[in-house]
Amino acid sequence: MRILFTGESGAGHLAPIIAIHKEIKKIAEESNIKWLEFMLISSDSHFLAEMFEETGIPYKTVKAAKNRKSFSIQSIVDIFRVITGFFQSIILVFNYMPDVIFSKGGYVSLPIIIVGKIFRIPIIIHESDAIARPIDKFMFRLAKKVAVSFSKSKEVYDSPKVFFTGNPVRDFIFNGNKEEAMKKFVLNEDSPVILILGGSEGAEEINELVLEVLPQLLQRYQIIHQCGVGNYETVKAKIEKMNIYNLDNYHIFAFFKKRIANAYASADLIVSRAGANTVSEIMAVGKPSVLIPLASAISDKQKKNAFNYSESGAAILLGEKNLKPHLLLNIINEIFENRLKIMEMQRAARQMKQPLAAQKIAEEIVKMAG
């Protein structure tokens, strides 16, 4: 059985692929499937090597267009990237000739899906976000099955090929230990812990919001802040100039990798972007959250993710464009001043989680490959 994964090279696509890969291996072992091969085709990024070092999945990279909201000179460059990526995809897919293709969508997947359709290879796509981008909707037409993360999405697409699974979450996310986390992050039991996440690349806007009110936050809370690899030195330098007296309560990280499980375990509240993968992990660990969707996200997908999730009562949705630092501070204070509110948000988050998402998709992949 030969399985080809494809998706963009951010954590939002790679993390679910890792979760599904692990479930396929479990199914193969239980079903006594002797021959099992995997390959990933993605665009180049530093996340590929970091996230796949333990899985052993071989991967190849191809040229792909970038996500853009408007036409520019770079859009012309993208045309040449797409042409190059298409010919690279033909060679890779032909040489590998998988039994099934699993796609997380995005521009890098488009030529692979088209080539797969030409070669009559069964295709299954997973849509993480509440609503798909136009390019992903086009790929849905070429797929045999489409899995979706939000139950309402199934009603929107209204097709027998669409089925609801939730968003796959890596299993180690569930293994965070609060006692161990308190020691690892040097936290105390006296003050609530707020975990601030900006997605795999970090978020400058959230970083700036937090720094504006950091002295006030540290008077009442302990902060674990994932600011992004590219933002780490800048944020650190700004904090050093602020001369905050109780900085022992502030813990800054560029990127967590597997430490994210303990970061989740230690948190009493999460302030985060609303990427599908992050929202799914917040659901999985059952934590109350304040979601600040990326205003420039293609098709407003983060806003729709956050809206669908906040409807359950598990999160508070704040718009980035009109969000002021002290409004964020007031919202956080109001949440912690209402213990019943926190408990209701925790309960709603746990009810939303879909722990079998990776297993359901893995079962469909194996069935299609067989």
Whether residue 289 contacts residue 305, with contact meaning beta carbons closer than 8 Å, is answered with no
In angstroms, the Cα distances linking 41 to 11, 80, 92, 245, 285 are 14, 19, 8, 48, 30
Span 291-323, pLDDT tens digits:
998 776 554 778 888 888 888 898 999 987 778
**From the CB of residue 186, how many other CB atoms can be counted at a distance below 10 Å?**
10
Whether residue 107 contacts residue 89, with contact meaning beta carbons closer than 8 Å, is answered with no
Second CATH level (architecture) for the domain 2-169+355-369:
3-Layer(aba) Sandwich (3.40)
Is pLDDT larger for residue 46 or for residue 57?
57
- Which of 29-43, 90-104, 236-250 is the most confident on average? 90-104
The mean per-residue pLDDT over the stretch 9-37 comes to 91
* DSSP code, position 130: S
**Would you mind telling me the total number of residues written for the chain in this entry?**
370
Question: Could you tell me which residues are beta bridge partners of residue 147?
Answer: 126, 163
The tokens describing 224, both together, are 């674990």
Rounded Cα distance, 20 and 361, in Å: 7
Question: In degrees rounded to 5, what are phi and psi of residue 260?
Answer: -60, -30
Boundaries of every domain in the chain: 2-169+355-369, 172-352
* DSSP code, position 231: T
Rounded Cα distance, 50 and 57, in Å: 12
Span 197-241, pLDDT tens digits:
976 565 788 999 999 999 999 999 999 999 988 888 898 899 988
Q: How confident is the prediction for the chain on average, in pLDDT? A: 88
Which amino acid is it at 190?
D
Whether residue 5 contacts residue 40, with contact meaning beta carbons closer than 8 Å, is answered with yes
Span 96-151, pLDDT tens digits:
999 999 999 888 999 999 999 999 999 999 998 888 888 888 999 999 999 998 88
Does residue 73 carry a pLDDT above 90?
no
Q: Note the pTM of the prediction, 2 decimals.
A: 0.85
Domains 2-169+355-369 and 172-352 share a fold: yes
User: Span 172-352: which CATH code?
Assistant: 3.40.50.2000
